[in-house]
Chains A and B, each alone.
Chain A
């Protein structure tokens, strides 16, 4: 019983045992009392025993252990010592207690052994305890010889500590393998019954931040525990750098070139991305790829729970997306207090009514940012989403197939969409009936991914494949880097930065070089981006 877990157990004992147990001397109290009870009582001898008991108490108080037991052992049980010494159990006690790290002294060691044999030597006070006294005596004498009597002894035992009480690396590895196997079984029993393939559609194009975004997304996708195919649509044709990154990723991927180049205007870029996604969906349809289609933009950040959640989608689902309208400038857009109060949550997602059915949509409120939004990629102003972002929707790829059993009639045929060159604003245009979208993630309460657009200026330079080749002969100072040039006149630099960026909107010929006061390393190159 865990009586010791309960507080004040010591209190209880002290309140109960007469005389209290506040000092070790009280132990001698009990021991001596036992013995004095066991022996024959005569009026004269009882006072003698009482005085002896008092003496033992005092000595124990000073010495700090049960002196009386030592004394009575030496007086009464000489032969029992040999019995206890020869049995393996008490030998273990001796051995164990000498290695114990508690602050017991060697005298306590001897006390321990004596206690065991003391019990054996003690003549049984009453008929009921006779059995146990005999048992303990038998146990000590018999040791581990398989005696049918109990070998469990009541009393003080040694604390067994092995010589090197530290973990063994081989065993630790085995334990980890056991845990992996247990977790695998758990997934099999309680996890998703038939995990479906995840088809991740990512539109991308070559620019300074492409490697940054793709690396992040790559690592996210590597951690997804389901079979996955990454469909990367690259504007301006496929590039070697991207292809190299994909092949190094270890993922199954489909790298699709898209003929048009990505425009530098956010609005146009948005439209082009939509067309690239449609292109990917057509490829999925042609190849009859089966699974759940997730639209993962390269700059977005996804949680692992998203991929668990999308396994539940029947035909088309919507998740909540956190919209991070990143400003990037030192100045925040000035919001009035009123605006700040009324600012809704920066979340795009499904809204449910009380019965858990889709009732509407949360969208991002762009009004506070009106007039201050970025229009050109790389501009230092907040980048806002337009309407409903594709990232918040997931599809069952069978919805795209020409002929799939069970395909609901509210899903439009893919060919019918975008054939007139109309813009595809969001996946809801793929449906005849937008109310049949399934809300995922606890009815949209859980935000499973974040939408973010962070870009450098469209024409900013970066090393090709982020590999620095031997330097060119002439070192031309960078004119078109996205970061302000470092000179000693730092404050004016910052003030000028915005002004400069405003001036350098369109690509230009080289200006005359400004004096560079900082020394440059030999390996610095300024190569054009591909």
Chain B
């Protein structure tokens, strides 16, 4: 008797599960037709296992985000004043805001929100040359937090522990481009409990907080699409790199910039025909990457760079030369299997390392890179597409739910020190 009635709900559950999964698959499949998927499967490899499957999660339904309505001076006015903010590598903060405004995870009812988003663009104060100045950013951030804590009760409820901020600058919430100064400043005290979505990631570094979500820097998807070449163009460049090796403007003696790693690359391999490295700015940069087997991604003043995104999109195996770096979405993408990690001290032996890699490893890495979901996860397309970087950020936030003990504070319990930090930060903005 029990078994007879027992199977019906189970069957219903299975039916519902199958329907939901097909729906999810259809939603997640996006525009890819079945034929294209099949063709892709033939020569690309899906990263299976707990790490890779996570790339295909759909965050819709797993979390709710409430967006604070900040005055225009914190976001829209900055973009109107300088539209270059939309094209540089820090543009993720702007596009994340636009994505969330029209996303299915957005809720207009803050009472049911799991996460709160503050759309403040701290990297939009550009010099005439187009580089962001971080000197007002702490004040801007502080002013924004003051605004939301006065206007809504949700900040004070948790002291920011269920809020997230996008801080794509060089050293994230340390708000300085020089590493020593950034370390000295440390993360802005008001953001101590919040979740930070940032591009900077280095282990055991002051500017990387526990629980931060590392994202790739913004690279313009349309521009990269426009430079795609036919995939049967043979890859005839062994190692490719374009960029500076010495920063003569800021580090004339050498050894400071990139911790000497880029200079070491140049001195050791400038005469090596396998290494196509130079400081040129060729018009065929993207095309050349698609003709290379390995693309070097050494650190610069900060360990992260858009080169990683470009290498993944163009199918070139990234050779990451940055000690202790934390790569984007490291809990979803198994970077060890896709890229080659070389320690800075091993740079003089780079040619030996790369040529002695077993060919099966290289082919496997290329197959993994050919997987379109890998490329999608690195991009910020407009409008958003399934499984792109926006969705991976939401997945990361969803994985942090439910909020742990200690998120919600007792009334009167204050954890943040509103007067900590350099005196200059306390000035109102």
User: 18 additional contacts, CB 8 Å, given A9-B249, A148-B204?
Assistant: A1-B170, A1-B305, A2-B300, A2-B307, A9-B129, A10-B249, A11-B249, A104-B254, A150-B204, A151-B323, A156-B255, A160-B348, A171-B351, A175-B355, A179-B293, A183-B235, A186-B235, A189-B42
The answer to whether B260 touches A160 (Cβ under 8 A) is yes
Q: Which of B154-200 contact A (CB under 8 A)?
A: 170, 177, 179-180, 183-186, 199
Option from B183, B199, B273 in Cβ contact (under 8 Å) with A132: B183
Which residues of A lie under 8 Å from residue B238 when comparing CB positions? 175, 178-179
Q: Would A156 and B256 be within 8 Å (CB), given that A10-B249, A165-B269 are in contact?
A: yes
Are B300 and A166 in contact, CB atoms less than 8 angstroms apart? no
By a CB distance below 8 angstroms, the chain A residues around B347 are 160
Asked if residues B363 and A159 are in contact (CB atoms below 8 Å), the reply is no
Q: A4-B301, A154-B179 are in contact. Are A167 and B253 (CB under 8 A)?
A: no
Check: A219 CB closer than 8 A to any chain B CB: no
Complex Cα distance, B251 from A24, in Å, reads 10
Q: How far is the CB of A155 from chain B (nearest CB, A)?
A: 8
Known: A4-B301, A152-B323. A182 touches B366 (CB 8 A): yes
Contact between chains at B234 and A172 (CB < 8 Å):
no
Please report the C-alpha to C-alpha distance between residue A189 and residue B233 in the assembled complex, in whole angstroms. 11
| Number of A-B residue pairs with CB-CB distance less than 8 Å in the complex they form | 208
A residues with a Cβ closer than 8 A to B are 1-13, 15-16, 24, 92, 96-97, 100-102, 104, 108, 112, 125-126, 128-129, 131-132, 135, 148-162, 165-168, 171-172, 174-175, 177-179, 181-183, 185-191
Contacts of A15 in B (CB 8 A): 127
Q: Which residues of A contact B260 (CB under 8 A)?
A: 96, 156-160
Bound form: Cα–Cα A162–B259 in Å: 17
CB of A166 within 8 A of CB of B271, answer yes
Q: In the complex the two chains form, is B180's CB within 8 Å of A154's CB?
A: yes
- Residue of A whose beta carbon sits closest to that of B325: A152
Interface pair B249/A13, CB less than 8 Å apart:
yes
B305 / chain A contacts, CB cutoff of 8 Å: 1-2
A156 to B180 Cα, complex, angstroms = 11
B-side interface residues toward A, CB under 8 Å?
Answer: 42-43, 89, 127, 129-131, 133, 135, 170, 177, 179-180, 183-186, 199, 202-206, 217, 230-232, 234-236, 238, 243-244, 247, 249-250, 252-257, 259-260, 263-264, 267-269, 271-274, 293, 300-302, 304-307, 323-324, 344-345, 347-349, 351-352, 354-357, 359, 362-363, 366, 370
Q: A150-B205, A165-B269 are in contact. Are A178 and B231 (CB under 8 A)?
A: no
Most buried by A among B130, B252, B254: B254
Whether A12 touches B127, Cβ cut-off 8 Å, given contacts A3-B177, A154-B179, A182-B362, is: yes
Q: Give CA–CA (A181, B362) in the complex, Å.
A: 10
Chain B positions within 8 Å of A97 at CB level: 255
Q: Which residues of B contact A191 (CB under 8 A)?
A: 232
Chain A residues with CB under 8 Å of B42's CB are 189
What A residues does B199 contact at CB under 8 A? 1
- Chain A residues near B356 (CB-CB < 8 A): 171, 174
* CB within 8 Å for A102 and B206 given contacts A129-B184, A162-B348, A182-B363: no
A8-B129, A172-B273 known; A167+B351 contact, CB < 8 A: yes
